[in-house]
């Protein structure tokens, strides 16, 4: 195993692409690497069609969680809790603006967060 982190999997994809096409070098990629990277990276040196899918090994649902002390039991409650108290207040000026953490800025985690902000009407 040769761990090649970086650029949301692009470095490892390039390594595998440069390896001899003898079936001895495999790449375990994610959906975001194959679907988001081509749109997120202007200078991508590979395309999804450069690879042949062998198996779908896992399906991982995304979940939205918060600290147990937050008084929100569903999406509507959370959206209401983080709404600006003054209309048209830029989120950057709010004392309690929503923040989040993801494993990579070009990963599949960014899309659900953006969808959350849109649905909660927090995009400004």
pLDDT tens-digit profile of 46-65? Answer: 999 998 888 877 777 777 77
The answer to whether residues 79 and 115 belong to one domain is: yes
The answer to whether residues 43 and 79 belong to one domain is: no
Please report whether residue 57 resides in a domain. Answer: no
Residue 72 pLDDT grade (very low, low, confident, very high; cuts 50, 70, 90): confident
Query: Which pLDDT score is estimated for 87?
Result: 58
- Number of independent structural domains in the chain: 2
In the chain, what percentage of residues exceed pLDDT 90?
8
Is residue 94 scored above 70 in pLDDT?
Answer: no
Query: Which pLDDT score is estimated for 88?
Result: 58
Please report whether residue 98 resides in a domain. Answer: yes
Domain region containing 23: 7-50
pLDDT tens-digit profile of 98-116? Answer: 667 666 665 666 777 777 7
Please report whether residue 102 resides in a domain. Answer: yes
Give the per-residue SS3 of the chain.
Answer: CCCCCCHHHHHHHHHHHHCCCCCCCCCCCCHHHHHCHHHHCCCCCCCHHHCCCCCCCCCCCCCCCCCCCCCCCCHHHHHHHCCCCCCCCCHHHCCCCCCCCCCCCCCCCHHHHHHHHHHCCCCC
Query: Which pLDDT score is estimated for 97?
Result: 59
């Amino acid at each position: 195993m040769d761990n090649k982190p970086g650029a949301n999997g692009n470095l490892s994809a390039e390594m595998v692409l440069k390896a001899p096409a003898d079936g001895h070098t495999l790449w375990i990629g994610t959906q975001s690497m194959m679907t988001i990277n081509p749109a997120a990276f202007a200078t991508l040196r590979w395309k999804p069609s450069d690879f042949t899918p062998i198996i779908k090994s896992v399906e991982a649902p995304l979940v939205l969680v918060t600290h147990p002390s937050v008084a929100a039991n569903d999406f509507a409650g959370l959206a209401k809790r983080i709404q600006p108290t003054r209309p048209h207040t830029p989120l950057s000026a709010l004392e309690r603006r929503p923040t989040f953490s993801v494993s990579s800025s070009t990963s599949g985690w960014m899309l659900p967060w953006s969808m959350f902000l849109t649905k909660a009407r927090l995009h400004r």
